[in-house]
Structure 1
Amino acid sequence: MTQWFDPHFISLSLQNQVRVGEVGGNTLGFYGCQMSPDGSMILAHAFHGALHLWCKDQDKERGWRPGVVISGHFNAVQDLSWDPEGEFILSVGSDQTTRLFTPWRKQDSKQATWHEISRPQIHGYDMQCLAMVGGFQFVSGADEKVLRVFQAPRNFVENFASISGISKEKLLQSTSLPEGASTPALGLSNKAVFQGKMLSQHSKEEQFSSISDQYQESYFHPLSLTEPPPEDHLLQNTLWPEVQKLYGHGFEMFCLASDSTKTLVASACKASKAEHAAVLLWSTATWRQLQTLPYHTLTVTQMAFSPDAKFLLAVSRDRTWSLWRRKLPTPENPEPSFSLCAHTTKDTAMHSRIIWSCDWSPDSKYFVTSSRDKKVIVWGPCMLENSEEPVFPLEIKPCSSILDVGDSATAVAFCPSLCSDRSYLLAVGLECGQILLYRWRPGQVGDVCWIFVCILSVVSLHQKSFQRQSHTLAVKRLRWSDTERKLEEKSSWVQLASASADHSVKIFNINKQAL
């Protein structure tokens, strides 16, 4: 006899046993997840590409703890900068974030790996540029007319000391630092949060009981970290407070530069006319605008102060460069000021397309420019007379044969120290994603003074013979660390960081003695 069951009388009792992944901040939730075959880990991915990992805690029956995962930008990385001590890297991107990366070593591992440990700025505009102006202070620019200055909070400095192993007393120079920062509802400025002013959960609920308060403030919760934080903490609890806004530009910000003394910042915005293409100089002591430097007719694409802080170099979409010399202070004008001392014109320009990038040699004698026309040119020497002002403008010409790199040269950087044979080491980034290394010696135009060293590549762990490009899209920025690291005994190593339109930041360890 067949027995029939009415489906209306069948019921299933499902009980929620564990909940993981409560995500706050600027996110739209998860897109999917996967559990490991042994059931000990859960890996999820969110709307903005972030990975989340939870590991089952064996000491607790139903306990799950966040795990350390890879994180990074989910759109083009536009700029990056090392901190003065070479301990961490700051980067900005078109994903509207500023991110901080530093090496971290597990307790059972001898090799350090780089991880994101702070997201100082989560913005409403695409980020374009930044400049470090101290160990824990930076200026950033986005697709808006405002520059913003950020200062590290106490909670970050303490956690950075725990993760990096550096003495907290050495890092904490000020006792008046805020504890952290929070983002106001519908705001773009990170507000400082001081000790004793962090709201309790009860007071938060009371404050936002109104139906009209649909966009609540992202509240800061102090962290005590010994390893890189998970994504939910990066989104909400690692912000840096904004300490200053700088107004003066008429269009969206495009590039920034700071001098070696960290007393000056130069800024430039997008421009289609000469009146908007002027470079602005700012004092980091007062954050006042000191000077306007007009010369170019189109957007200044990159700027660089010489290592001795005596010159400022600017390159532009108008295919020319301008060189500005620092004036000696006088009793009437003690503040820093610059005057135009050399430049190229449409008639004397060596580049036939946009000049994308520039940099200085470590001795401040030469500077290099790279362009969409596939050319890399070294200029100089920048030797001035001992008088306060030269009678005639400096006549600076190419001091090398023109290097054709075969593709649009989007980034260039001098290594801050010389090679063993006293030659200069340069890195050149291309639009195709490759990074080329060259050694260069001063010589007459026409001399063979360029020596190709190598193409930086990433080697596959599974097929050691297989190599791929450093990046898959255009290299946006190249920066050498100013501090040499002894990564191996009796070897002198330097580190090169690169930012790319392929959403990645990469760091290369390079042994100069092997070149």
Structure 2
Amino acid sequence: ISFSQRIKSFSVTLEGHTEAVCAVDAVYQSDEPDLDLLIASAASDSTVRIWSRHGSEGNLFLNAATTYWLNKNVIFNSVGLDFPQNIFSLFLVRNFIQFQKTLILPGHEDWIRGIEWAVCDEDLFLASCAQDCLIRIWKVCMKSKESSETEDYSIRLKENVFTVKDTGTTYAVTLESVLAGHENWVYAVHWQPSFTKGGSIQQPMRILSASMDKTVILWEPDKESGVWLEQVRVGEVGGNTLGFFDCQFSPDGSMIIAHAFHGAFHLWKQSSVNKKEWTPDVVISGHFNSVEDVKWDPEGEFIISVGLDQTTRLFAPWKRKHETEVTWHEVARPQVHGYDMRCLAMIGRFQFVSGADEKVLRVFRAPKNFIENFSNITGIPHSSELPEGATVPALGLSNKAVFEGDMPAQPAEYEETFNTISNQYPEIYFQPLILTEPPPEDHLLQNTLWPEIQKLYGHGYEIFCVACNNSNTLIASACKASKKEHAAIILWSTTSWKKLQSLSFHNLTVTQLAFSPNDQFLLAVSRDRNWSLWRKQDSSESGPVFSCCAYTDKNTAVHSRIIWSCDWTPDSKYFVTGSRDKKVIIWGQCDLSMPAEGNIPDLIKPCSTVLDAMDSVTAVSISHVLTPDGRYIVAVGLENGKIILYTWKQSGQEPALADWTKCVEMDNSQSHALAVKRLCWRHHEGRAGHNDQKNSEWLQLASCGADHCVKIFNVNRFAL
């Protein structure tokens, strides 16, 4: 049975909380099969609910729960976030039903953010961390009657004693240590996982903590004195991160992974020679908010995406030495912005234009250091007549080019700047690095920006869509609009960066723009439920560059809702539109690639049957490579996250003879969890990173969605 089938067969929904669930934990008791599963869930409704396998439940006025076994009783350690008390309590349960409040341990002076149990020999340890920047370690051990009755005048730590009513066993809780080393809130604390040695389970006495001070600290008791000391500190020197939310050991304790405020993982690996040395390692990364647009570079070697996390990210394939597997990694973060990013378009190979929730378009060009590192990974030749990198001035939004002579001679200048307490908004300095593998997160944050070479002013509201023609000479852009005067499309020259023309037709926001592959037409679709087609004219100094040659209106429109997306067939004969009304339509009827004889608006009509996608269509894209029998391959993205592949070919003059063929509907494990925002086919046959570009059976489709994901699919065109 497959993993997905197993998950489905055992799935059940537990309903009871009235607000968001923020923590969950579970434990098995194998010797009682009728009640072998216990689940604790905590929510923002200030309750912890306990679920048994048969559905019985109990309610407690608490906020979070973890579990640990002790003498076949389950200890539920619950953290109360009821400032200013800031206490945590121990609850013991037997037979999964009876709960007993046993002890209150005060100490932290601000909200408790994390707790975790550990066992060493016969003693139980509890670590807690809080917003008071401190970590407290508590020791729980069984207290014998003899020791409690014997008078002992030696100096000892204060003991908090409690007795389990069912067994009469008495336990003592003492404060083992207070760890002070972080300079900001400590969000997580974890013990190194236990391992088996000599047939017995052992757990190393090592603690990992993550803080908002941008560091992760590894703590360990001194072998001679037993005093807990800081052994290793890893984390960020600069960048735009605000700190770490969580951290974990690898099972053998040789690696550390942390989750940062800006949505990325950070991974460090222990040196096999020097146990005190930890170095950053390659890790997965991606957007941490909705991804709005994605594009392939013209050569199909990498993709660039933009999202509402205010970043532009570049992903490329990487093949490790002596391995055949190709994996995709983020190799650059060309733009870290102050506004949510909405759209982008490639201008040649190493240049792009992006639009955000501001009135300005920004143009970026790859620096020398990126192209050199990209060449090291992919083997692509590079040019040296470029700046080394880019930096962001303090309180600025523009990426300033950094040339070789601009960089400080000593690295100590960087460290001194970052460690200055008064410098709350430091300039993100650039340091060129030679890379042969994808960069770690700290390098992505600081050293992979692309210099901004141009700003384009002219729109009155936030930029919504942008496109570049295939000869890289023109840029078309549009902004959010509720009136016709603001919904105009602006054309820009990529040589002079001047505004060439304003194309006014639509009454509401233009949602997507697409140049035809032969650069003769510009297609626009809009929230006003119409599309417009603009033909390129013989330009002169005073004449227009494009003129409207076809459009729909309330009498000729087929779509009844917002048209979200559009695309062209590779031969420039037809174009496709997808709408919220669940319809996908291919238009053309006449060969748009040839000079028209007669009135073009009368000749451009639906030339396919209306495809009912069964849900709102948010993205469409047509492959530049056809099926072996000459059919167009159309990818359709839906609001529910599904991606469906169709093929289409006009087989007659009547639309009824040109039917769609549904080839693939991606299952839930492959689809997006939320709306598909954009689809983009790789222009060439083959797969990026593989040497199968010629006569390949494979195509690649990139997608992005509101679920923060960028996905790349391998599609076998011979199987369609």
Return the TM-score normalized by structure 1: 0.92
| Match status 1:147 vs 2:361 | yes
Specify the alignment match of 1:6 in structure 2. Answer: 155
Looking at structure 2, the residues matched to 434 and 506 of structure 1 have their Cα atoms a distance apart, in angstroms, of 12
Specify the alignment match of 2:574 in structure 1. Answer: 366
Does the aligned pair in 2 maintain the 1:319–1:353 contact within 8 Å? yes
Residue 403 (structure 2) aligned to one of 194, 202, 206: 194
Q: Structure 1 residue 468: deviation in Å?
A: 2.5
| Match status 1:428 vs 2:639 | no
Q: Structure 1 residue 417: deviation in Å?
A: 1.5
Provide the secondary structure at the position in 2 that maps to 1:79: strand
Provide the secondary structure at the position in 1 that maps to 2:564: strand
Deviations 1:283-339 (A, max 9, x none): 111111110000000000001000000000000000000000000234x559x8100
Q: Structure 1 residue 429: deviation in Å?
A: 0.3
Looking at structure 1, the residues matched to 597 and 458 of structure 2 have their Cα atoms a distance apart, in angstroms, of 29
Does the aligned pair in 1 maintain the 2:607–2:658 contact within 8 Å? no
Q: Structure 1 residue 112: deviation in Å?
A: 0.4
Amino acid at match of 1:512: R
Looking at structure 2, the residues matched to 54 and 73 of structure 1 have their Cα atoms a distance apart, in angstroms, of 21
| Match status 1:308 vs 2:518 | yes
| Match status 1:502 vs 2:707 | yes
Provide the secondary structure at the position in 1 that maps to 2:239: coil
Provide the secondary structure at the position in 2 that maps to 1:329: coil
Provide the secondary structure at the position in 2 that maps to 1:236: helix
Specify the alignment match of 1:264 in structure 2. Answer: 474
Q: Structure 1 residue 39: deviation in Å?
A: 1.6
Q: Comparing both structures, which one devotes a greater share of its residues to strand? A: 2
Amino acid at match of 2:657: D
Residue 485 (structure 1) aligned to one of 662, 667, 686: 686
Looking at structure 2, the residues matched to 4 and 164 of structure 1 have their Cα atoms a distance apart, in angstroms, of 72
| Match status 1:49 vs 2:263 | yes
Looking at structure 1, the residues matched to 696 and 571 of structure 2 have their Cα atoms a distance apart, in angstroms, of 23
Deviations 1:256-291 (A, max 9, x none): 111110111100000000000000001111111110
Q: Structure 1 residue 204: deviation in Å?
A: 5.4
Specify the alignment match of 1:461 in structure 2. Answer: none
Q: Structure 1 residue 27: deviation in Å?
A: 1.1
Provide the secondary structure at the position in 1 that maps to 2:376: helix
Does the aligned pair in 2 maintain the 1:341–1:394 contact within 8 Å? no
Residue 674 (structure 2) aligned to one of 473, 476, 483: 473
Does the aligned pair in 1 maintain the 2:574–2:591 contact within 8 Å? no
Looking at structure 1, the residues matched to 421 and 356 of structure 2 have their Cα atoms a distance apart, in angstroms, of 33
Residue 419 (structure 1) aligned to one of 603, 627, 650: 627
Provide the secondary structure at the position in 1 that maps to 2:232: coil
Q: Structure 1 residue 8: deviation in Å?
A: 7.9
Does the aligned pair in 2 maintain the 1:91–1:100 contact within 8 Å? yes
CA 1:4/1:233 → structure 2, altered by over 3 Å: closer, same or farther?
Answer: farther
Looking at structure 2, the residues matched to 452 and 203 of structure 1 have their Cα atoms a distance apart, in angstroms, of 61
Specify the alignment match of 2:646 in structure 1. Answer: 438
Amino acid at match of 2:390: A
Specify the alignment match of 2:440 in structure 1. Answer: 230
Does the aligned pair in 2 maintain the 1:433–1:469 contact within 8 Å? no
CA 1:205/1:89 → structure 2, altered by over 3 Å: closer, same or farther?
Answer: closer
Provide the secondary structure at the position in 1 that maps to 2:234: coil
Amino acid at match of 1:514: A
Does the aligned pair in 2 maintain the 1:410–1:476 contact within 8 Å? yes
Specify the alignment match of 2:312 in structure 1. Answer: 98
CA 1:366/1:59 → structure 2, altered by over 3 Å: closer, same or farther?
Answer: same
Specify the alignment match of 1:185 in structure 2. Answer: 394
CA 1:431/1:386 → structure 2, altered by over 3 Å: closer, same or farther?
Answer: closer
Does the aligned pair in 1 maintain the 2:417–2:423 contact within 8 Å? no
Q: Which structure 2 residue ranges, 5 or more long, are not aligned?
A: 1-149, 159-175, 177-224
Does the aligned pair in 2 maintain the 1:327–1:388 contact within 8 Å? no
Looking at structure 1, the residues matched to 592 and 420 of structure 2 have their Cα atoms a distance apart, in angstroms, of 67
Amino acid at match of 2:504: P
Specify the alignment match of 1:131 in structure 2. Answer: 345
Looking at structure 2, the residues matched to 208 and 159 of structure 1 have their Cα atoms a distance apart, in angstroms, of 26
Q: Structure 1 residue 24: deviation in Å?
A: 2.2
Does the aligned pair in 2 maintain the 1:342–1:395 contact within 8 Å? no
Looking at structure 2, the residues matched to 35 and 146 of structure 1 have their Cα atoms a distance apart, in angstroms, of 44
Q: Structure 1 residue 504: deviation in Å?
A: 0.3
Q: Structure 1 residue 48: deviation in Å?
A: 2.3
Q: Which moved more, 1:404-413 or 1:485-494?
A: 485-494
Give aligned pairs, total.
499
Q: Structure 1 residue 224: deviation in Å?
A: 1.1
Amino acid at match of 2:557: A
Specify the alignment match of 1:339 in structure 2. Answer: 547
Does the aligned pair in 1 maintain the 2:574–2:592 contact within 8 Å? no
Amino acid at match of 1:248: G
The percentage of aligned residue pairs carrying the same residue is: 62
Amino acid at match of 1:311: F
Does the aligned pair in 2 maintain the 1:149–1:243 contact within 8 Å? yes
Q: Structure 1 residue 28: deviation in Å?
A: 1.2
Specify the alignment match of 1:114 in structure 2. Answer: 328
Q: Structure 1 residue 128: deviation in Å?
A: 0.2
CA 1:490/1:310 → structure 2, altered by over 3 Å: closer, same or farther?
Answer: closer
Looking at structure 1, the residues matched to 696 and 491 of structure 2 have their Cα atoms a distance apart, in angstroms, of 40
CA-based RMSD of the aligned residues comes to: 2.4
Specify the alignment match of 1:460 in structure 2. Answer: none
Provide the secondary structure at the position in 2 that maps to 1:162: helix
Does the aligned pair in 1 maintain the 2:316–2:330 contact within 8 Å? yes
Q: Which moved more, 1:35-44 or 1:313-322?
A: 35-44
Deviations 1:323-378 (A, max 9, x none): 00000234x559x8100000000121100000000000000000000000000000
Residue 382 (structure 2) aligned to one of 153, 157, 171: 171
Looking at structure 1, the residues matched to 516 and 611 of structure 2 have their Cα atoms a distance apart, in angstroms, of 22
Q: Which moved more, 1:36-45 or 1:140-149?
A: 36-45
Does the aligned pair in 1 maintain the 2:357–2:463 contact within 8 Å? yes
Specify the alignment match of 2:273 in structure 1. Answer: 59
Looking at structure 1, the residues matched to 569 and 671 of structure 2 have their Cα atoms a distance apart, in angstroms, of 24
Residue 284 (structure 1) aligned to one of 489, 494, 510: 494
Q: Structure 1 residue 195: deviation in Å?
A: 0.2
Deviations 1:219-260 (A, max 9, x none): 111111111111111111111111110000000000011111
CA 1:111/1:434 → structure 2, altered by over 3 Å: closer, same or farther?
Answer: same
Q: Structure 1 residue 61: deviation in Å?
A: 3.5
The aligned runs of 1:66-85 (5 Å cut-off) are 66-85=280-299
Specify the alignment match of 1:28 in structure 2. Answer: 242
Provide the secondary structure at the position in 1 that maps to 2:405: coil
Deviations 1:368-394 (A, max 9, x none): 000000000000045369779977755
Q: Which moved more, 1:79-88 or 1:105-114?
A: 105-114
Deviations 1:435-493 (A, max 9, x none): 10111011422235211101134xxxxxxxxx625111100000001111166696421
Does the aligned pair in 2 maintain the 1:88–1:102 contact within 8 Å? yes
CA 1:218/1:268 → structure 2, altered by over 3 Å: closer, same or farther?
Answer: same
| Match status 1:245 vs 2:455 | yes
Does the aligned pair in 2 maintain the 1:78–1:93 contact within 8 Å? yes
Specify the alignment match of 1:463 in structure 2. Answer: none
CA 1:411/1:210 → structure 2, altered by over 3 Å: closer, same or farther?
Answer: closer
Q: Structure 1 residue 106: deviation in Å?
A: 1.3
